[in-house]
Amino acid sequence: MTTSITPTKAGLPPAPPVEAARRGFIEIIAPYAYIAPFFLLFAVFGLIPLLFTFYVALFDWNPIGEHVFVGLDNFDRLLGDVRFWNAARNTVSIWLLSTVPQLLVALVLAHLLNHARLRLAVFFRMTMLVPYITSVAATAIVFVQMFDRDYGLLNWLLGLVGFEHIDFTQSVTGSHVLIAVMVTWRWFGYTTLLYLASLQAVSREIYEAAAVDGAGNVRQFLHISLPALRPVIVFTIVTSTIGGLQIFTEALLVNRGAANTCGPIRQCQTLTLFLFEQGFIQFKFGYAAAIGVALFVMVVGFAGLNYFLSTRIRPVKG
């Protein structure tokens, strides 16, 4: 066993038996030792907390007091809680408003960037990653200022062309749009680069052959680029579903007067923010865990549904 793993070099004397056995053992466990840190960290900070969420959700759990088993009471209350349904609606709305435009914009930009004779290609690619390296907190503060009702740049421009000022932070639709703009701004460039990488793997000859056959830009995009992008599109739809349903920081920073509810009428409180409010402001750990379970069901459901749809629906052959 030992020899097959660590063959001795011709010139060197073989290791003493005890030494060889010790080394052999180390060699056998080495691969497991190399992957162990990840599994250990994931278990302690990911899997166990996730499973424990389902357990805590069955209790009236005060962090510094009693834990009383209440069965499914938390879920019962949750389903009758208008704040929960409000947060669920806000979450889905913000997620749709941020994901759909983001992926479409990325598709178009990736197609434009995938041009052999494009000048400044490196510059364009690099600038698109700038939002990704900017923190969500900084992004939120700038965008809230730019979208301010009274002194924001955007409303100033709207006023110049004769429109009424829009109160982005205080209205339901306005606050959803504002958060969606922040999320889209942060991620569209990153998604563009992922799409571009896939496009570049398509060989030039295929496009040339299509061009010879008279296929224009749009048809090349629909019949060559789009099918080639299928795997990465599925990937980005699933990841943006998982991320988009857990939006927190943007919502927390929109209304500093009522940060934990994202405004006086909870107009943009997402489920993660509702979870945070119940868990770490109200200290209702059991109820917060129940929100976590509901969010889990939603994320798994939507991600699964999107995966199913995006892998099943195929473009019409033509």
Residues 202-231 within binding reach of other proteins (CB under 8 A): 202-204, 206-208, 211, 217, 220, 228, 231
- Neighbour count for residue 107 (Cβ, 10 Å): 20
- The residue from 80, 82, 119, 313 that contacts other proteins (CB under 8 A) is 119
- 99: tokens are 């994901």
Q: Least Å distance between CB 21 and other proteins?
A: 14
Q: Is 113 a residue that touches other proteins (CB under 8 A)?
A: yes
How many chain residues bind other proteins (CB under 8 A)?
120
Check if the beta carbon of residue 247 is closer than 8 Å to that of residue 94: yes
Q: Is 311 a residue that touches other proteins (CB under 8 A)?
A: no
DSSP strand pairing (67-69 vs 59-61): antiparallel
Q: 30 CB contacts (<8 Å, ≥6 apart)? A: none
Distance between CA atoms of residues 262 and 227, nearest Å: 40
Q: Is 173 a residue that touches other proteins (CB under 8 A)?
A: no
Q: Least Å distance between CB 73 and other proteins?
A: 17
Check if the beta carbon of residue 232 is closer than 8 Å to that of residue 200: no
Site stretch for other proteins (CB under 8 A), options 36-44, 78-86, 89-97, 260-268: 36-44
Q: Least Å distance between CB 203 and other proteins?
A: 7
Which CB sits closer to other proteins, 1 or 108? 108
Burial 140-157 (b: 16+ CB within 10 A, else e): beebbebbbeeebebbee
Q: Is 292 a residue that touches other proteins (CB under 8 A)?
A: yes
Q: Is 45 a residue that touches other proteins (CB under 8 A)?
A: yes
Torsion angle of the four alpha carbons 75, 77, 79, 84, in this order, in degrees rounded to the nearest 10: -100
- The residue from 146, 158, 226, 265 that contacts other proteins (CB under 8 A) is 146
Distance between CA atoms of residues 282 and 302, nearest Å: 29
Q: Is 314 a residue that touches other proteins (CB under 8 A)?
A: no
Secondary structure letter of residue 69 according to DSSP: E
Q: Least Å distance between CB 310 and other proteins?
A: 14
Report 16-35 residues binding other proteins (CB under 8 A): 23, 26-27, 30-32, 34-35
Which CB sits closer to other proteins, 207 or 265? 207
Report the half-sphere exposure of 291 (CA within 13 A, side-chain side): 27
Report 53-92 residues binding other proteins (CB under 8 A): 53, 56, 63
Secondary structure letter of residue 7 according to DSSP: P
Distance between CA atoms of residues 233 and 222, nearest Å: 14
Q: Residue 302 corresponds to which amino acid?
A: F
Which CB sits closer to other proteins, 47 or 96? 47
Q: Is 6 a residue that touches other proteins (CB under 8 A)?
A: yes
Which CB sits closer to other proteins, 171 or 249? 249
- The residue from 1, 21, 41, 96 that contacts other proteins (CB under 8 A) is 41
Q: Residue 286 corresponds to which amino acid?
A: G
- The residue from 85, 151, 163, 308 that contacts other proteins (CB under 8 A) is 151
Q: Is 126 a residue that touches other proteins (CB under 8 A)?
A: yes
